[in-house]
Structure 1
């Protein structure tokens, strides 16, 4: 079976998501653990912001969002295998990761709406601690809001090419 050209076209965007998720500020000032789980949380959160941006474009961006999610799944599958996790267990892990991504989408959709509790969503979904350090939550909140504004300011065709405006 050949590669999906539509998915291949989204590789630059996925790489931009991963690069944004690896910025040291998240791990230093934001206190996200620099572990496999912490890196997953950051990639999934940045991906969530991008998916919510695509969602705002309506039906025309749905296919791209689905392909971007498939790219994420493929990457996570590969990362798990690289860590030595076997075929039988990989599927369960990927299933949990997809559940976490879906939960994060709902949490951040609500949190970014007027009156939403973004700090709570960050504490629960990124730092995995409802009583997380307020300073760290503030760093993450400010960074996510800035990134979200950049995504909103970027025309969807540019975003799909992996470029967002900063």
Structure 2
């Protein structure tokens, strides 16, 4: 505990790095083009789905670098912490939070697999329809925009060195 306190006092600890990267993930997921041109519902569920999509791509990029395993775990912990706070803020009680978090983690895990497969096949459309447009099929132009933008984001992440990503410089 003392070492953790000192690392926070004198330098950026792992939690600070995870927070900076998570804040960047959320900022990317809240860009207006996802909701305006991409047709992602600007609702609590839609925002969760968009954060999960961007977070998935970042986690998939980090898994390609074994040295980023700890940072990836911390980033996931930040996601859980944020979702916990959001649930509590929206009125979910202590008993229900754990159940909701478990469901969200299962959803994130499913998205990681779906987006991993979609990126490999260069076809994210069906994964996006299932995971991002849960309310119903999007307009073809909206789906194409989101798919293209996520492929472009993935390409940017692939071109960035891991330390740059960990610093939160993913824009």
SS in 2 for 1:43: helix
- Structure 1 regions of 5+ residues with no counterpart? none
SS in 2 for 1:117: coil
Aligned position for 2:118 = 111
Bigger CA radius of gyration = 2
- Kindly tell me: are residues 54 and 111 of structure 1, through their superposed partners in 2, closer, same or farther at Cα, counting changes over 3 Å? same
Aligned position for 2:89 = 82
Count of matched residue pairs = 163
Cα distance, 1:131 vs. partner? 3.6
Indicate the RMSD between aligned Cα atoms, in angstroms: 1.7
Query: Is the CA contact 1:41–1:126 (under 8 Å) kept in the aligned structure 2?
Result: yes
Counterpart mapping for 1:1-166 below 5 A: 5-57=13-65, 59-113=66-120, 115-128=121-134, 131-164=137-170
SS in 2 for 1:33: coil
Give deviations 1:101-128, integer Å, cap 9, x for gaps. Answer: 0000000000000x35311111111112
Query: Is the CA contact 1:123–1:129 (under 8 Å) kept in the aligned structure 2?
Result: no
Normalized against structure 2, the TM-score is what?
Answer: 0.89
Normalized against structure 1, the TM-score is what?
Answer: 0.92
SS in 2 for 1:10: helix
Within 1, Cα distance between the matches of 2:122 and 2:164? 28
Give deviations 1:69-93, integer Å, cap 9, x for gaps. Answer: 0000000000111111110011111
Query: Is the CA contact 1:111–1:121 (under 8 Å) kept in the aligned structure 2?
Result: yes
SS in 1 for 2:134: coil
Q: Which of the two has greater helix per residue? A: 2
Query: Is the CA contact 2:18–2:166 (under 8 Å) kept in the aligned structure 1?
Result: yes
Cα distance, 1:62 vs. partner? 1.2
